[in-house]
Amino acid sequence: MPSIAPRNWFPDGTSGRTDIAVAGLALVVVAQNAVIGTALAWSWAVVGFVTFAVAMGPVASSGFGSRVGTWFREIGVAGRVLVIVAFAVAAWFARTTVEAVATPLSSVGTGGLFAVVVFVAARTLYTRIEE
Protein backbone atom coordinates (compact mmCIF):
# COMPACT_ATOMS: atom_id res chain seq x y z
CA MET A 1 0.00 0.00 0.00
CA PRO A 2 1.44 3.40 -0.96
CA SER A 3 2.40 5.80 1.79
CA ILE A 4 0.08 8.74 2.30
CA ALA A 5 2.86 11.06 3.47
CA PRO A 6 2.53 14.59 2.04
CA ARG A 7 5.65 14.12 -0.11
CA ASN A 8 3.76 11.33 -1.95
CA TRP A 9 0.68 13.41 -2.76
CA PHE A 10 2.09 14.71 -6.02
CA PRO A 11 2.60 12.56 -9.12
CA ASP A 12 6.14 12.17 -10.40
CA GLY A 13 7.40 14.96 -12.62
CA THR A 14 6.37 18.54 -12.99
CA SER A 15 2.99 19.86 -14.09
CA GLY A 16 2.55 19.56 -17.83
CA ARG A 17 1.08 22.07 -20.24
CA THR A 18 -2.36 20.53 -19.91
CA ASP A 19 -2.24 20.74 -16.10
CA ILE A 20 -1.20 24.38 -16.23
CA ALA A 21 -3.84 25.21 -18.87
CA VAL A 22 -6.58 23.57 -16.78
CA ALA A 23 -5.39 25.42 -13.68
CA GLY A 24 -5.39 28.69 -15.65
CA LEU A 25 -8.94 28.13 -16.85
CA ALA A 26 -10.00 27.14 -13.33
CA LEU A 27 -8.45 30.32 -11.98
CA VAL A 28 -10.47 32.39 -14.47
CA VAL A 29 -13.70 30.68 -13.37
CA VAL A 30 -12.85 31.07 -9.68
CA ALA A 31 -12.00 34.76 -10.13
CA GLN A 32 -15.21 35.35 -12.09
CA ASN A 33 -17.31 33.60 -9.43
CA ALA A 34 -15.55 35.46 -6.61
CA VAL A 35 -15.98 38.87 -8.26
CA ILE A 36 -19.55 38.39 -9.43
CA GLY A 37 -20.32 36.11 -6.50
CA THR A 38 -24.09 36.50 -6.59
CA ALA A 39 -24.61 32.78 -6.04
CA LEU A 40 -21.48 32.02 -4.03
CA ALA A 41 -21.69 30.79 -0.44
CA TRP A 42 -18.19 30.93 1.05
CA SER A 43 -18.87 28.15 3.56
CA TRP A 44 -19.78 25.80 0.72
CA ALA A 45 -16.74 26.97 -1.26
CA VAL A 46 -14.53 25.98 1.70
CA VAL A 47 -16.23 22.56 1.77
CA GLY A 48 -15.46 22.16 -1.95
CA PHE A 49 -11.86 23.27 -1.50
CA VAL A 50 -11.20 20.87 1.38
CA THR A 51 -13.00 17.98 -0.32
CA PHE A 52 -11.09 18.38 -3.58
CA ALA A 53 -7.77 18.96 -1.79
CA VAL A 54 -8.19 15.78 0.25
CA ALA A 55 -9.28 13.85 -2.84
CA MET A 56 -6.28 15.02 -4.88
CA GLY A 57 -3.77 14.54 -2.05
CA PRO A 58 -4.06 11.81 0.58
CA VAL A 59 -7.00 9.92 -0.96
CA ALA A 60 -5.40 9.81 -4.42
CA SER A 61 -2.18 8.41 -2.93
CA SER A 62 -4.00 5.74 -0.90
CA GLY A 63 -4.70 2.19 -2.04
CA PHE A 64 -8.30 3.12 -2.81
CA GLY A 65 -7.17 6.11 -4.88
CA SER A 66 -4.74 3.93 -6.80
CA ARG A 67 -7.51 1.44 -7.64
CA VAL A 68 -9.87 4.21 -8.78
CA GLY A 69 -7.10 5.78 -10.87
CA THR A 70 -6.28 2.45 -12.48
CA TRP A 71 -9.95 1.81 -13.27
CA PHE A 72 -10.35 5.32 -14.71
CA ARG A 73 -7.34 4.83 -17.01
CA GLU A 74 -8.52 1.33 -18.05
CA ILE A 75 -11.93 2.52 -19.25
CA GLY A 76 -10.23 4.52 -22.00
CA VAL A 77 -10.86 8.00 -23.29
CA ALA A 78 -14.44 7.31 -24.35
CA GLY A 79 -15.25 5.82 -20.94
CA ARG A 80 -13.70 8.80 -19.13
CA VAL A 81 -15.65 11.23 -21.29
CA LEU A 82 -18.84 9.27 -20.57
CA VAL A 83 -18.23 9.34 -16.79
CA ILE A 84 -17.47 13.07 -16.81
CA VAL A 85 -20.48 13.90 -19.00
CA ALA A 86 -22.76 11.73 -16.83
CA PHE A 87 -21.57 13.55 -13.70
CA ALA A 88 -22.05 16.95 -15.38
CA VAL A 89 -25.57 16.03 -16.53
CA ALA A 90 -26.48 14.79 -13.03
CA ALA A 91 -25.14 18.02 -11.46
CA TRP A 92 -26.97 20.15 -14.03
CA PHE A 93 -30.19 18.20 -13.49
CA ALA A 94 -29.94 18.57 -9.70
CA ARG A 95 -29.19 22.27 -10.04
CA THR A 96 -32.10 23.00 -12.36
CA THR A 97 -34.59 20.70 -10.63
CA VAL A 98 -33.98 21.41 -6.96
CA GLU A 99 -33.92 25.14 -6.22
CA ALA A 100 -31.97 24.85 -2.96
CA VAL A 101 -29.09 22.97 -4.62
CA ALA A 102 -27.94 25.69 -7.05
CA THR A 103 -25.90 27.85 -4.67
CA PRO A 104 -24.23 25.02 -2.71
CA LEU A 105 -23.39 23.12 -5.91
CA SER A 106 -21.88 26.18 -7.62
CA SER A 107 -19.98 27.11 -4.46
CA VAL A 108 -18.56 23.61 -3.94
CA GLY A 109 -17.49 23.60 -7.58
CA THR A 110 -15.79 26.98 -7.20
CA GLY A 111 -13.93 25.79 -4.11
CA GLY A 112 -12.95 22.60 -5.90
CA LEU A 113 -11.60 24.52 -8.88
CA PHE A 114 -9.56 26.70 -6.52
CA ALA A 115 -8.14 23.51 -4.97
CA VAL A 116 -7.06 22.41 -8.46
CA VAL A 117 -5.27 25.75 -8.95
CA VAL A 118 -3.51 25.43 -5.58
CA PHE A 119 -2.62 21.77 -6.21
CA VAL A 120 -1.06 22.47 -9.63
CA ALA A 121 0.84 25.49 -8.28
CA ALA A 122 2.10 23.51 -5.26
CA ARG A 123 3.11 20.58 -7.45
CA THR A 124 4.99 22.88 -9.81
CA LEU A 125 6.79 24.64 -6.94
CA TYR A 126 7.54 21.34 -5.20
CA THR A 127 9.16 19.81 -8.28
CA ARG A 128 11.18 22.99 -8.91
CA ILE A 129 12.47 22.95 -5.32
CA GLU A 130 13.33 19.24 -5.53
CA GLU A 131 15.39 19.69 -8.73
pLDDT of residue 43: 93
User: How many residues does the structure list for the chain?
Assistant: 131
The 3-state secondary structure of 14-77, one letter per residue:
CCCHHHHHHHHHHHHHHHHHHHHCCCCCHHHHHHHHHHHHHHHHHHCCCHHHHHHHHHHHHCHH
d(CA 39, CA 33): 8
Per-residue confidence (pLDDT) for residue 3, from 0 to 100:
52
Q: Give yes or no for residue 5 having a pLDDT over 60.
A: no
Alpha-carbon gap, residue 91 to 106, rounded angstroms: 10
Structure confidence by residue, pLDDT tens digits, 78-100: 999 999 999 999 988 887 888 78
3-state SS class at 130: helix
Query: Which comes out higher in pLDDT, residue 56 or 4?
Result: 56
Give the tens place of pLDDT for each residue, 31-49.
988 888 667 888 999 999 9
Query: Residue ranges per domain, the chain?
Result: 16-130
> How far apart (Å, rounded) are the C-alpha atoms in residues 101 and 85?
19
What is the signed CA dihedral for 116, 27, 22, 100, rounded to 10 degrees?
70
Report the C-alpha gap between 3 and 98 in whole angstroms: 41
Cα-based distances in Å from 93 to 84, 85, 117: 14, 12, 26
What's the whole-model pTM score?
0.77
Measure the CA–CA gap between 23 and 20, rounded to whole angstroms: 5
Confidence of residue 28 (pLDDT cuts 50, 70, 90): very high
Given this model, what pLDDT does residue 36 score? 83
pLDDT surpassing 90 at residue 115? yes
Q: What pLDDT shows up at residue 19?
A: 84
